[in-house]
Amino acid sequence: MRIAVLQRNIIWGDPAANRHQITETLSRCEKADLYILPEMFSTGFCVRPQEMAESMDSPTLSWLKETAMRLDCALMGSLLIQENNCFYNRLCFVKPDGGITTYDKRHLFTFAGEDKAFTAGTQRVIVTYKGIRILLQICYDLRFPVFSRNNNDYDMAVYVANWPTPRAEAWKILLRARAIENQCYVVGVNRVGRDPFCGYSGDSAILDAYGRTIAACPAEKECEAYATLTTEELEKLRRKFPALDDRDDFSLL
């Protein structure tokens, strides 16, 4: 599966402008099976959702479906969603046929007050696409390895983020750790630029199961990074060094 990460500067609070910007970017991107966008890619990271929330029948969701069908690809990124009088930081995985799989962020960022305005998700979500099982995760989830523990049920973990520059080293180290401990590919897609509150360095990367960088975006720059991933290398590693067989048994939920 050919994947592309889109490290973008998000225009604050303007879904239409962000959709336009991403459409232009996709028009010059290399062909990929899956394009991955940052967290809250249509608005920027906002903890006052009443000001910016979208619905599941919003123009942004329609745009995701239309773009996936037009380009014959999958698209994923998180949105600020209002549903049933609740607000969610919702990661949407849209397939070429328009089908959507969603994951609601479980670990809300209490440091910024996300927990006061949003409802936390309760489900661990894995979607299969092009033969690769993908664990859906959002930003702060990266700090909680128990939730992402690989039970031999996924091949790639994707973290979409608005991860601030002062904690950039933690971002890079934790992405590597999640790849190594779970013997999986890890993809981290972070934004660049500034919102009204802080700056973001990007440092988006695609890592193999040894924690090695396959492809990456430079800091502080809008760019795309690409990689072709297969399950053969993962299976070879897991047969050669079956550490996942010795994982601890536990029940999280």
- Annotated catalytic residue within 46, 73, 92, 139: 139
> What does the block give as tokens for 179?
């790849």
Residue whose token pair is 């549903």: 83
Residue whose token pair is 């090695």: 212
- Annotated catalytic residue within 65, 95, 105, 172: 105
Q: Are 188 and 171 in contact (CB under 8 A)?
A: yes
Burial environment of residue 189 by CB neighbours within 10 A (0 to 12, 13 to 18, 19 or more): buried
> What does the block give as tokens for 236?
């070879």
Known catalytic membership, residue 139: yes
Known catalytic membership, residue 95: no
CA distance 87 to 43: 14
CA distance 89 to 171: 19
Q: Are 233 and 212 in contact (CB under 8 A)?
A: no
Known catalytic membership, residue 172: no
- Annotated catalytic residue within 39, 54, 114, 224: 39
* Alpha-carbon dihedral 139, 144, 147, 148, rounded to 10 degrees: 70
Rama region for 45: left / alpha / beta (φ>0; ψ in -120 to 50; rest): beta
CA distance 143 to 236: 28
Which residues are designated catalytic?
39, 105, 139
